[in-house]
Chain A
Amino acid sequence: MASALRSAMLRRIRVPVTETLTLNGSKWNLFNNVRSMSSHDDHITKEEVIHRVLDVVKSFPKVDPSKVAPDVHFQKDLGLDSLDNVEIVMALEEEFKLEIPDKEADKIDSCTLAIEYIHNHPMAS
């Protein structure tokens, strides 16, 4: 079914070659450093990651916002339990549009680790 549809579409679709190779009116250069369709180049800065992670943690209902700092441990310093820990990690996933694998997510138990992980993640946005 899918292959029949695919071949039917491929037979119909015609892409004008000259149009695709011209980008922004200039000839497309293969060695150009700016890859305009790539999600990897406009990476968020460390300051922004710290700011947004702290915002997420502060907005968690059980957390006292004044205690939140970039180096707090969720369970030792903020008095949260393991379930709250998972909840915060899920909130971070939502904020940065990530999907953190379960094994990695288990290790994230402090703001430091969360900031480091998200900053090093290529898809964080």
Chain B
Amino acid sequence: MSFTLRSVKVAPNSASLEEARTRVFDFFRSACRSIPTVIDIYNLDDVVSPSQLRSSIASQIRKNSHITNPKVIDMLLFKGIEELNNVAEHAKQRHHIIGQYVVGTGGLVQDLGTKDQANSNFLKNFYEGNYF
């Protein structure tokens, strides 16, 4: 536990929305640069390509694109950095990554399981929207 806490540093608050925005892009870049390592340590070559993982990270960021409060963005950014650290230092297992970032995001693995194949529009949207 201690090694996780040491690697996460709390940056000072963003002064403006513009600064928070820049930080999000910096975070996105560092996440993208760690993709090859992640694919390597979790053996993901056969299920996902780097560009699909990139799009998956981008869609998670875009999910919060409506937020304009810099403090909230800072908080989400902190959670993102924490998640990236956990992934990069192998604190997760392969199926965590596949379930969260590969399945259902248009990757090579699609979830066509036994669950309700969307009789109602509500459920259809729910299953699709769950990943984005």
Contacts of B26 in A (CB 8 A): 102
Contact of B33 among A59, A60, A99 (CB under 8 A): A99
Dominant SS at the A interface? helix
- A106 and B28 CA atoms in complex are apart in Å by 13
- Give the size category of B's interface with A: 10 to 19
A61 within 8 A of B: yes
Contacts of B62 in A (CB 8 A): 81, 83
B25 within 8 A of A: yes
B106 within 8 A of A: yes
| Chain A: minimal CB distance from B7 (Å) | 21
Interface positions, chain A 33-60, Cβ under 8 Å from B, are 59-60
Q: A61-B106, A83-B61 are in contact. Are A91 and B29 (CB under 8 A)?
A: no
B68 within 8 A of A: no
Contacts of B25 in A (CB 8 A): 82-83, 86, 102, 106
B80 within 8 A of A: no
| Chain B: minimal CB distance from A29 (Å) | 39
B54 within 8 A of A: yes
A90 within 8 A of B: yes
- A94 and B29 CA atoms in complex are apart in Å by 12
Closest chain A residue to B51, Cβ basis: A91
B106 touches A87 (CB 8 A): no
B54 touches A61 (CB 8 A): no
- A60 and B58 CA atoms in complex are apart in Å by 13
B54 touches A91 (CB 8 A): yes
> Most A CB atoms within 10 A — which of B26, B54, B62, B65?
B54
B50 within 8 A of A: yes
B84 within 8 A of A: no
- A83 and B60 CA atoms in complex are apart in Å by 11
Interface residues of B, Cβ cutoff 8 Å to A: 21, 25-26, 28-29, 32-33, 50-51, 54-55, 58, 61-62, 65, 106
Interface residues of A, Cβ cutoff 8 Å to B: 59-61, 81-84, 86-87, 90-91, 93-94, 99, 102, 105-106
